[in-house]
Amino acid sequence: MRISEMNWIQVEAYLQHDDRAVLPLGSTEQHAYLSLGTDAILAQRVAEEAAEPLGVPVFPVVSYGLTPSFMAYPGTVSISLRTYAAMIGEILESLHTSGFRRILLVNGHGGNTPAGTVATEWMASHPDAQVRIHHWWNAPRVWAAVQRTDPLASHASWMENFPWNRVHGVTPPQEQKPPVDVDRLRIMNPAGVRALLGDGNYAGLYERGDREMLQIWQEGVEETRALIEGGWR
């Protein structure tokens, strides 16, 4: 359930019998022909669908993350590591103050992996709390489903093309894009990244059929739900 659809009285009542919460982490960055909000849209939705049957509140997605390499693409927003770490730490502190003790970070953006380190450091001074980070798009079940469908898949390719993060009226190319040299990308400045990468797709087709995509999505929802349900101390 969305925390935005609850009032503080309901949250206080919830905390009398449960202390779990979900915080989605996303980004605002280029995704070729897909929405700039892809990572945020998908993280929020998979978290909400996973948590709904369990009655666990889902907080609004953190829509900005670490994506300095894509700053040559208009619409991309990147914040510094220092700012991001402080923000995640302060959100965790706020949730802890409210009474939440088991928090799952559902991450939709590869650049946000430092959030896991922030959580580990934060827990060291909050021994009564548990925080886990779940990179939903490449977790074991989802990644296995992607590989079964088409092993040539990467950023801004078909594997991120779901019905809810497409841009209305935009038809992506129908061809398969050959893989870019990712090692070269890692040592380039933003202008060089754009020159080498082009439209933003790293490798593969731009879209596949909705039936295949919804099967992958269901794996993501179920895998996320299992983490919300179990595995806590």
- 3-state secondary structure string, the chain? CEHHHCCHHHHHHHCCCCCEEEEEECCECCECCECCCHHHHHHHHHHHHHHHHHCCCECCCECCECCHHHCCCCCCEECCHHHHHHHHHHHHHHHHHHCCCEEEEEECCHHHCHHHHHHHHHHHCCCCCEEEEEEHHHCHHHHHHHHHHCCCCCCCCHHHCCHHHECCCCCCCCCCECCCCHHHHCCCCHHHHHHHHCCCCCCECCCCCHHHHHHHHHHHHHHHHHHHHCCCC
Which pLDDT tens digit goes with each residue over 188-218?
999 999 999 999 999 999 999 999 999 999 9
As a whole number of angstroms, the distance between CA 96 and CA 86 comes to 15
Beta-carbon count within 10 A of 72 CB: 16
In the chain, how many domains are there? 1
Which pLDDT tens digit goes with each residue over 220-229?
999 999 999 9
Q: What is the pLDDT of residue 61?
A: 98
Task: Provide the CATH number for the domain around residue 179.
Answer: 3.40.50.10310
Counting residues of the chain whose pLDDT is more than 90, the rounded percentage is 99
Instruction: Please report which confidence band the pLDDT of residue 233 belongs to, taking 50, 70 and 90 as the band edges.
Output: confident
For range 106-126, the mean pLDDT: 98
Q: What is the pLDDT of residue 81?
A: 98
18 is in which domain, residue-wise? 3-229
Q: What is the mean pLDDT of the chain?
A: 97
Q: Which amino acid is at 198?
A: G
For range 43-54, the mean pLDDT: 98
Which pLDDT tens digit goes with each residue over 133-175?
999 999 999 999 999 999 999 999 999 999 999 999 999 999 9
With 90 as the cut, is the pLDDT of residue 231 above it? no
Q: What is the pLDDT of residue 121?
A: 98
As a whole number of angstroms, the distance between CA 221 and CA 42 comes to 11
Q: What is the pLDDT of residue 1?
A: 87
For range 64-78, the mean pLDDT: 98
